[in-house]
Structure 1
């Protein structure tokens, strides 16, 4: 195909040169006008009609020549443009066309909260492109007022409705958890719509009670290539479980971590991972199921120092669990970090793990009392060591960070280490050196 196009380019160039050569010869070889200005025999029938004004004839011929040369110049420029597209540059490599930007849809999981408007308004406010980030709102519950709010956005969003609104048969002791079963069913249906019906290759999932930060889209767009290329990662989350004011570094909005804990609350998933999870998707409690070692399989997620989502939904199936004590105080990032212009290769496992462990275990070892009473000396970082489930939970609870564990993994933990700020100093709550694996009985 390239050889054929090259031949066409050469042919066009040849015609251009030949035409102009003939044109010049004809003009130079044109005989002078006959007596009294009459044209010679070679001029009869030519495009420029003779007149008695010899000077005028010459000027008109010049105008015709100039117009023709201009037209030929345009043709040559077009030939050169096509040649630049198809001919390989010097060095023999073919010209590489820039890949099209990835489309990353946003899936909003909705039910019966009319406050979904706050979620969608922020998404629309901060969205850089409707084409690159289509918003899909999937609604369960059949709540008419919520459906009307979603419809009010018109073609700015795609409104899906979960068709199965029936109750789910559960064990008698699980009747109070009916809502969790319906949520899990809805997630499965909605994700199948995204990946199977709409054929997207990735998705960012938010729930209807989340507000997003100004650089929410920038964050996920920058991390998509890393998620695709790094087998040791299986999700990217916008959430820091310990991201309350005073527990994060306000000057490091650009700081990102690997974590072994699945955070959720605004997270990106690839189609390949969904194809792995969907056949065994649980009937309920899908988020805790994601935190089991059988699903995680030693993989990590990326999470930020400062959250890119904020939950405003106190009421829900979890009845506000953790909301009043932790979630309502989460700090939402307010500045724009240009992540797509940053080098994020430090998050690759072979780089990150060694650097992280070096920083943690070279930090000064301190006591719980020194941290609790604000007696740390120097800028830090500092290491506070726990040796058992009970010591972890006691120190966490008393220091104001989340103390629960899922399958042995603490919230935000990476290789057992939880990072947080205490009175402006970095503290690592860490297991002893030589840590190898989580204990699933620590739950």
Structure 2
């Protein structure tokens, strides 16, 4: 290719020089009239001027032809050169980075191995590991992945001044500080427009990436949503429908544990980010602002980290039994319009409040007739907590919102039947004093 291009350039240059040499010879070879011949007298000055003009026009025309020829040769050279350059192809789909929040668990390897195993594209899903704590062994594990991940280190490892009664909560303060720094890295330093946040003790399902890819357009287009979560707080085996791996819900409760956030929401939250207990802060009405999250029937994450700042709270009783989805659901090919706010709310209310009301005894003693669903009604904070605890679902409330709740209703399976633990008809709002 280089030899052919060089020959074309030499050929063009030779033609250019040769043609102009011929023009010069023609001009020199024109007869010059002698001063003693009568013909000179007959030639007028006008004839001489016309000859000069004709010759000049001829030269100009030929020079223009030679100019075009050289331009074509240079363009051909440029095209040939560009063919040899590697093409940079921009991804047709948005990039969704995965931010892994790490500290001092060498078991982060399990988290990273699963992410890399199920990741369909390194270009579309860059993995960013942000490490706090300065733990050398954990840092070595992360470094062992080389360029498969980006390893960030939180620079401020100092203790945080807290009230004496909060000294035992120092870990929660450091976690909040780390989240603040790491999310600024993703959105401000690396200029991403969205992120999926994964803690270092989470294992992801085979369709984890597919799920978030499908949810991103919905999250961007629906202002009544502010997050997408891979987690079902009541997603223990026996409490979810194994035949409904494709079923998704809206929930007023912020689930966390593998969740997607948009840059616009971070710009809203970042200036007032709390010093500690960031997840409960997210669940307050001032932050939630009546917005919902999307969550699945069957979790797309599983936590394996019993030890942490929460000292295993809920782990032994609930979290260790969460069912991780194993069936790949092609969410990007499904019609998800049922999750839009107005459509979902109308259908949900109709289904819940058209379901027959049953008693606790009928549910627990297997006396329900028909396929369901069924509605089990609560009337107060205490009645909700008592029913939830006895039925085996999580009974705590955050700012009045039950885990997985939507409009006060919690959906789960009991003895194979769909149960809606719901407030009376006409529900309008949560009571923040229910905690």
TM-score (norm 1): 0.78
Q: How far apart, in 1, do the equivalents of 2:432 and 2:360 lie?
A: 25
Deviation at 1:373? 1.4
Matched, 1:417 2:412: no
Matched ranges for 1:9-24 at <5 A: none
Q: Equivalent residues in 2 for 1:35-46 (5 A)? A: none
- 1:250 is aligned to 2:242: yes
The CA distance in 1 between the partners of 2:405 and 2:214, in whole Å, is: 23
1:309-347 deviations in Å (ceiling 9; x for gaps): 000000000000000000000000001000000011110
1:126 aligns with 2:123: no
Partner of 1:156: 148
- Describe how 1:34-433 pairs up with structure 2 within 5 A: 100-433=92-425
* Counterpart position of 2:67: none
Q: Structure 2 CA distance, aligned partners of 1:99 and 1:310?
A: 30
Cα shift readout 1:355-401 (whole Å, capped 9, x = no counterpart)? 00000000010001111112111100000000000000000000000
Cα contact 2:250–2:292 (8 A) shared by 1: yes
8 A contact 2:91–2:124 mirrored in 1? no
Q: Distance in 2 between matches of 1:110 and 1:231?
A: 31
Q: Distance in 2 between matches of 1:391 and 1:257?
A: 24
CA distance in structure 2 between the partners assigned to 1:195 and 1:346 by the alignment? 30
Q: Which runs of 4+ in 1 moved over 2 A?
A: none
Q: Is the partner of 1:211 in helix, strand or coil? A: strand
TM-score normalised by structure 2 residue count: 0.79
* Partner Cα separation in structure 1 for residue 163 and residue 227 of structure 2: 32
Q: Which residue number corresponds to residue 442 of structure 1?
A: 434
- Bigger radius of gyration: 2
Distance 2:91 2:156 in 1: 40
RMSD: 1.2
Measured in 2, the distance between the counterparts of 1:413 and 1:422 equals 17
**2:101, 2:201 → 1: CA distance?**
9
DSSP 3-state at the match of 1:364: coil
Could you tell me which runs of 5 or more consecutive residues in structure 2 were left unpaired when the two chains were aligned. Answer: 1-89
Secondary structure of 2:357's match? strand
Displacement after TM superposition at 1:99 (Å) = 8.4
8 Å contact 2:229–2:293 — kept in the other structure?
yes
Contact 2:377/2:424 (<8 A) preserved:
yes
Q: Alignment length, in residue pairs? A: 348
User: Unpaired runs of 5+ in structure 1?
Assistant: 1-97
The secondary structure found in structure 2 opposite 1:421 is strand
Structure 1 residue aligned with 2:44: none
